[in-house]
């Protein structure tokens, strides 16, 4: 387990130590920002940023407390995006994240075998181009959301039965434990990085860094087959712009979301994973169409009716198909997911994505990547009725596309062991009108150029 992807719940004294250590590393400039400057519905957030593991082996990272069982993390991710054509207007935006964390090996510290404490604090700042200029429901900067200084992770992880069972509990998020892939965040757009966006539009699946109470467990039945399930508090207060994550009360909770995954990972040949998964959402949610009186909420001006109970299912896979594996992989990998709603009144009825990533692009660039991903969001009948009603009420026609398609071509360049950059080009076909519901005509297809970079502190300070 690396510090960048921490896991598991803890006790008061250890928690205080974890928080104090994390905060002591936080740069002075990591001040809270305005957290809600848009009407964009999607607030999915990615996994904590990480450089590919092979890059870390070129140097010995600076870890002054490693012999004491403490591994520190400090990194920065920045994402810029500019709209060259289409959308609502031409504009540019920048969003960034400071990530400060620590892992505590409790075997070394206190003689508790198989136990670890994980802690992380983030500071997010900047603006969303989707909110400013595109009007669609899925950000082209995955790092945007929860724009403040936030306690993202504080958990206790316990490994048992010689590693066959791992349990973690505390404050964290579903999306760093479920429905993620090593390939997703080679891209910048939020339809795929950090997770397929469908799950956030159709459930209360919790997202980084907005932390709530949780527990999850993974059982490894054989070397190739595992079952993973969790339970995560659904609490709207944790998603407010002024929530800093340091609130430990259950007050405001409306239920739980329960994700699960059955995974098959062949141990022979090139690496791959094949997963059947889903979720059961028992938290409150807003009806995508109606208010409490049965009228269309966007026209009546009344709040959407509160509903309870949704579920969904997905199949996903990733497979390296050429090249070599091991600590310095080269070759072509493919990945994809198909997701559908099973129950409840939801925004989207189906989601598909497919991507390719080539690692090792040119001679001497063994750790660079070249990737392409395309996703298709299909809106539900309820969402289509809402969109048509708003447009007709504004004097437009009801001819609205049911599908929003997002594409991205990205090149990841490992400049140094500590610094990675990823220029990218994105294209959105049929941007939905979530951010401009009373617009009378289609939002033009949007062409976006982006630039993502990550700097890893311990590697930068290493030798």
Q: Report the b/e string of 229-239 with b at 16+ CB within 10 A.
A: bbbbbbbeebb
Q: Is the dihedral of CA 129, 130, 131, 132 positive or negative?
A: positive
Q: What is the pLDDT of residues 135-176, one digit of tens each?
A: 999 999 999 999 999 999 999 999 999 999 999 999 999 999
332 contacts 360 by C-beta, under 8 angstroms: no
Spatial distance between the Cα atoms of 263 and 181, rounded to a whole number of angstroms: 13
pLDDT tens for residues 423-462?
A: 999 999 999 988 899 999 999 999 999 999 999 999 999 9
Lookup: tokens for 67 = 């012999």
Confidence of residue 52 (pLDDT cuts 50, 70, 90): very low
**What's the CATH architecture for 12-460?**
Beta Barrel (2.40)
State residue 57's pLDDT score.
54
Nearest to 410 by CA among 374, 380, 437: 374
Query: Mean pLDDT over residues 49-56, rounded?
Result: 44
Residue 6 has a pLDDT of 37
The pLDDT tens digits for 217-242 are 999 999 999 999 999 999 999 989 88
Angle at 277 between CA 272 and CA 279, to 5 degrees: 150
Global pTM reads 0.86
How far is 147 from 97, CA to CA, in rounded Å?
9
CB neighbours of 20 closer than 8 A, spacing ≥ 6?
Answer: none
Task: Please say if the pLDDT value at position 415 is more than 50.
Answer: yes
C-alpha span between 428 and 143 (Å, rounded): 18
What's residue 422's pLDDT? 98
Structure confidence by residue, pLDDT tens digits, 70-117: 999 999 999 999 999 999 999 999 999 999 999 999 999 999 999 999
Please tell me whether residue 358 adopts helix, strand or coil conformation. Answer: strand
- For the chain, domain boundaries: 12-460
pLDDT at 327 (0 to 100): 72
Q: Average pLDDT, stretch 6-23?
A: 36
- pLDDT of residue 373 exceeding 50, the answer is yes
pLDDT confidence tier of residue 325, bands split at 50, 70 and 90: confident
Under 8 Å between Cβ of 127 and 145: no
pLDDT given at position 54: 45
- Tokens 């071509």 label which residue? 409
Q: What is the model's pLDDT at position 241?
A: 86
- The DSSP secondary structure of 303-323, one letter per residue, reads PEEEEEEEEEEEEEEEEE-SS
Q: Which of 80, 203, 206, 197 is nearest to 152 (CA)?
A: 206
């Amino acid at each position: 387990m690396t510090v960048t992807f921490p896991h598991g719940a803890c006790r008061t004294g250890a928690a205080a130590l974890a928080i104090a250590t994390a905060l002591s590393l936080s740069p002075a400039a990591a001040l809270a920002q305005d957290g809600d400057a848009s009407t964009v519905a999607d607030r999915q957030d990615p996994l904590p940023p990480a450089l590919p593991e092979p890059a870390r082996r070129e140097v010995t990272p600076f870890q002054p407390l490693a012999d004491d069982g403490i591994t520190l993390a400090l990194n920065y991710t920045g994402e810029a995006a500019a709209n060259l054509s289409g959308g609502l207007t031409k504009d540019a935006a920048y969003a960034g994240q400071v990530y400060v964390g620590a892992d505590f090996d409790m075997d070394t510290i206190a003689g508790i075998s198989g136990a670890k404490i994980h802690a992380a604090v983030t500071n997010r700042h900047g603006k969303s181009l989707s909110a400013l200029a595109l009007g669609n429901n899925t950000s082209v900067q995955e790092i945007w959301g929860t724009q403040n200084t936030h306690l993202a992770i504080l958990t206790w992880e316990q490994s048992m039965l010689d590693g066959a069972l791992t349990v973690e509990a505390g404050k964290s998020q579903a999306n760093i434990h479920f429905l993620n892939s090593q390939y997703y965040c080679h891209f910048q757009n939020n339809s795929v990085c950090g997770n397929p966006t469908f799950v956030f539009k159709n459930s209360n699946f919790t997202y980084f860094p907005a932390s709530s109470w949780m527990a999850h467990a993974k059982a490894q039945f054989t070397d190739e087959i595992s079952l993973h399930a969790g339970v995560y508090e659904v609490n709207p207060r944790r998603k407010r712009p002024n929530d800093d994550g340091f609130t430990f009360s259950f007050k405001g909770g409306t239920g739980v979301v329960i994700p699960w995954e059955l995974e098959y990972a062949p141990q022979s040949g090139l690496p791959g994973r094949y997963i059947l998964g889903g979720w059961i959402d028992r938290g409150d949610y807003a009806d995508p169409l109606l208010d409490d009186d049965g009228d269309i909420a966007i026209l009546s001006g009344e709040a959407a009716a509160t509903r309870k109970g949704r579920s969904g299912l997905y199949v996903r896979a990733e497979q390296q198909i050429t090249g070599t594996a091991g600590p310095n992989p080269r070759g072509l990998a493919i990945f994809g997911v198909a997701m559908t709603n099973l129950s409840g009144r939801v925004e989207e009825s189906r989601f598909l994505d497919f991507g390719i990533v080539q690692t090792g692009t040119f001679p001497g660039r063994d750790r660079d990547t070249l990737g392409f991903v395309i996703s298709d969001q299909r809106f539900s009948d309820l969402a289509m009725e809402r969109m048509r009603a708003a447009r007709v009420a504004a004097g437009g026609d009801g001819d609205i596309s049911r599908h929003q398609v997002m594409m991205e071509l990205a090149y990841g360049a490992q400049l140094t062991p500590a610094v990675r950059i990823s220029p990218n080009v994105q294209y959105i076909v049929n941007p939905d009108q979530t951010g401009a519901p009373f617009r009378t005509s289609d939002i033009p297809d949007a062409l976006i150029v982006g630039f993502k970079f990550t700097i890893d502190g311990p590697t930068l300070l290493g030798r």
